[in-house]
Amino acid sequence: MDEKAADTKGIAPLKPELDRIAAVQDKTALMDEIAHLHLIGPNALFNFYSASDLHNADQVIAYLDQGGLSLPDRDYYIKEDADKAAMRQHLVDYATQLFTLAGQTPQQAAHSAQTVLVVETMLAVYSMDRTKRRDPKNRDHKMSRDEAVALGPNFYLNRYFTAIGAPNFTQLNVTNPDFFKEVSGVLEAEPLDALKTYVSWHALSAAAPWLSQPFVDAQFKFQQNLTGQKEIRARWKRCVSLTDNELGEALGQRYVDVTFGPDGKQRMLKMVDALEKSLAEDVHDLSWMSDETKKQAKVKLDAIRNKIGYPDVYRDYSSVVIKSDDLLGNVARANEFESKRDIAKIDRPLDRKEWGMTPPTVNAYYSGSFNEIVFPAGILQPPFFDKTMDDAVNFGGIGLVIGHELTHGFDDQGRKFDPQGNLHDWWTEKDGKEFEKRVSCVADEYSSFVAVDDLKLNGRLTLGENTADNGGARIALAALERLIAEDKTGKEGQKIDGFTPEQRFFLAFARVWCEKRRPELARTSVLTDPHSPGKYRVDGVVQNMPEFQKAWGCKAGQPMVADNACHVW
């Protein structure tokens, strides 16, 4: 929070990193600096991390992945339309500004910025597009360490693995072999100075939000092109987000103490049970699926575990040194702690106790390799979950989110993983085709929705989320109907404030996705966000639901009644 100290220091906190890069004498030594940056945060050139083996989820292995871009998607570099060209210019302007602030002459800085664009454009060309990456089979390329090293000789990967402190592994997954093969040629062709400029850029842009005001302003101005945000958030809010990112399981303990009680967890567990039962019934009754695949689906559903609130075991940050007068150093040390923790998992059994989100996060997730659904304490508050409200409202809020996450286990990605979390096809060929036919209906439906101006959603990029939204709504409502039917007192079925339980369910559903976004963000999201905008997360679903039309008395031809309603789950 010491803004004054940050302003006084200027570029000084980053100077040692820039000096190290400037001192590099050859391309092999440059890999040491890239490894060092990967440890402390900036992700220049590519990504290296650990994750479950796609074919043996219980085992964690090393992953090499594409990366190294500053704009949020490869399309910004390679598409010719005016919008993308403008964004490339914004990047060049931003880089020119940061290089100038870092001490280059305006002329040098402009040249450096062009170099960044040239290098990143080549990385973008060889990157796999986001929609293709959705299919885990496209990211499944396990090979020996020697094969990976030979694939991209100019990455000097053995030197990199040593520099980053990786254990001595023999096998790894290279998610996009073409990237390493082709970019290796780029590394050979580009002069050392150009590569050093590119690497310095990543150090600079990652540090900018935590340096003096001119850096912070430049970074925010660049982000505005992507978000349309009018004002930078208050510094205390930026600091809270940073702390959540860097030390989330420490911050989360305080958060949980204040906000989360055992009664909330009990009610959640009951709802998860109800939703799992609904999905099981839905699968059982499906007309398009064979008994053989249904049996497998049931096994997978029964194997889904859940995590609610916060982890049983918190991450121990006691080795992270935090100094009150060293903001950038704190960021670097916290990142280094996390990078080392991640790399140390290579060639170890999967720790199923781990969480992928921090306790205060207002979100939830399904993990294919863990085969589990996870709900941090942050989402267990209004409007998603309210202890004081009736069941219909909570089924329309968090109940629908539970259904959504369960459905992810059976969406275009999730269905490819078996109950143990392995990439393994458990579908009959005919059922697989029937599934594809049904999700194509959803993809086409959402591809017709307009995000902003004449820009439409990408129905294939958002397919998993849209399938989950539709399935989640259906099984959450089914769970509520069962609750009403089983309630001997008749209380669950009563109107409140003049609304039936079904109407309250849909009102709660619409309210959780109530939002307003600026056109710039709407554009960026179409390219990068697998979720549809809030408007279509609601309208896209209810127009497929006869239950909605019944609840509100809608008739054919009215806006929320689709001519060709889609139905997967």
If the CB atoms of residues 30 and 400 are measured against Zn ion, the closer one turns out to be 400
DSSP string across 325-342 = T-HHHHHHHHHHHHHHHH
Separation of alpha carbons 162 and 159, rounded Å: 5
What is the enclosing helix (H) or strand (E) of 238? helix 235-259
If the CB atoms of residues 289 and 468 are measured against Zn ion, the closer one turns out to be 468
Least distance (Å) between residue 75 CB and Zn ion: 22
Least distance (Å) between residue 468 CB and Zn ion: 5
DSSP string across 410-446 = TSTTGGGB-TTS-B---S-HHHHHHHHHHHHHHHHHH
* Residue whose entry in the numeric block shows the structure tokens 């030197």: 159
If the CB atoms of residues 194 and 468 are measured against Zn ion, the closer one turns out to be 468
Please count the other Cβ atoms lying within 10 Å of the Cβ belonging to residue 196.
21
Can you list the alpha helix ranges (DSSP code H) found in 102-228? 106-125, 130-133, 145-151, 157-164, 177-189, 192-207, 213-227
Catalytic residue among 244, 465, 469, 539, which?
A: 469
Residue 105's SS3 state is: coil
If the CB atoms of residues 36 and 408 are measured against Zn ion, the closer one turns out to be 408
Least distance (Å) between residue 424 CB and Zn ion: 22
For residue 330, give the nearest of 2, 77, 93, 565 by alpha carbon: 2
Separation of alpha carbons 525 and 523, rounded Å: 5
Separation of alpha carbons 166 and 169, rounded Å: 8
CA 400 to chain centre: 20
Number of Cα atoms under 13 Å in the Cβ half of residue 251? 16
If the CB atoms of residues 115 and 462 are measured against Zn ion, the closer one turns out to be 462
Least distance (Å) between residue 518 CB and Zn ion: 23
Separation of alpha carbons 552 and 566, rounded Å: 19
CB of 124 closer than 8 Å to CB of 78 = yes
For residue 17, give the nearest of 32, 5, 33 by alpha carbon: 33
Least distance (Å) between residue 338 CB and Zn ion: 24
Least distance (Å) between residue 404 CB and Zn ion: 6
Residue 548's SS3 state is: helix
Separation of alpha carbons 96 and 99, rounded Å: 5
Separation of alpha carbons 157 and 161, rounded Å: 6
Catalytic residue among 405, 412, 445, 465, which?
A: 405
Q: Residues interacting with Zn ion, by CB under 5 A?
A: 465, 468
* Residue whose entry in the numeric block shows the structure tokens 């999905």: 279
Least distance (Å) between residue 395 CB and Zn ion: 18
If the CB atoms of residues 205 and 361 are measured against Zn ion, the closer one turns out to be 361
Q: Is residue 405 among the annotated active site residues?
A: yes
If the CB atoms of residues 76 and 417 are measured against Zn ion, the closer one turns out to be 417
Least distance (Å) between residue 467 CB and Zn ion: 9
If the CB atoms of residues 14 and 468 are measured against Zn ion, the closer one turns out to be 468
Catalytic residues: 405, 469
